[in-house]
């Protein structure tokens, strides 16, 4: 009887552990993504947008430039943030305001490149990403 109970517990434990690994493999971890060069990440992002939004060749070229610009700006901001770990509230406000201005500019550029349907798809995908980010952080921060 003890052997049967131990075997049952072992089976349940192993199946639960196997399911956790499957869930973890759905998304590449941050370390793997950071191994990619910025150009490789940009290319992957462009391909994903091409698949999701059915971009034509002209739109792909325009989006490639925008993605490269955004990556460069993001890397510069990340470097600045690391250099100045302890910022006062005014500097944080300025940085957050600058980030929001960049997002507004990006959105207006995309509106001029994408069709209305493509823009709606892109917007919906961004909202899903924000929801996922909020869920991972333990709450909805918008």
Average pLDDT over residues 31-50: 84
Q: What is the pLDDT of residue 67?
A: 92
Cα 62 to chain centroid, rounded = 20
Q: How does pLDDT run across 118-140, given as a tens digit for each residue? A: 999 998 998 898 888 887 666 54
- Closest Cα to residue 62, out of 29, 53, 130? 53
Domain boundaries, the chain: 36-82+90-134
pLDDT-above-70 percentage for the chain: 77
Beta-carbon count within 10 A of 87 CB: 13
* Whole-structure pTM value: 0.53
Q: How does pLDDT run across 51-107, given as a tens digit for each residue? A: 988 889 999 999 999 999 999 998 888 888 777 766 667 777 888 899 899 989 989
Say which residues have a Cβ less than 8 Å from residue 66's Cβ, sequence separation at least 6: 106, 109, 110, 113
């Amino acid at each position: 009887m003890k052997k049967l109970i131990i075997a049952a517990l072992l089976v349940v434990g192993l199946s639960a552990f196997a399911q956790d690994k499957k869930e973890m493999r759905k998304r590449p971890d941050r370390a793997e993504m950071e191994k990619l060069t910025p150009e490789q990440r940009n290319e992957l992002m462009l391909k994903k947008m091409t698949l999701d939004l059915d971009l034509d060749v002209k739109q792909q070229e325009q989006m490639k430039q925008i993605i490269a610009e955004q990556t460069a700006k993001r890397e510069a901001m990340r470097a600045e943030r690391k250099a100045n770990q302890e910022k006062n509230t005014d500097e944080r406000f300025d940085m957050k305001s600058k980030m929001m201005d960049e997002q507004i500019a990006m959105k207006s550029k995309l509106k001029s490149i994408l069709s209305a349907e493509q823009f709606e798809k892109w917007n919906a995908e961004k909202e899903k990403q924000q929801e996922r980010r909020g869920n991972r952080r333990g709450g909805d921060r918008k």
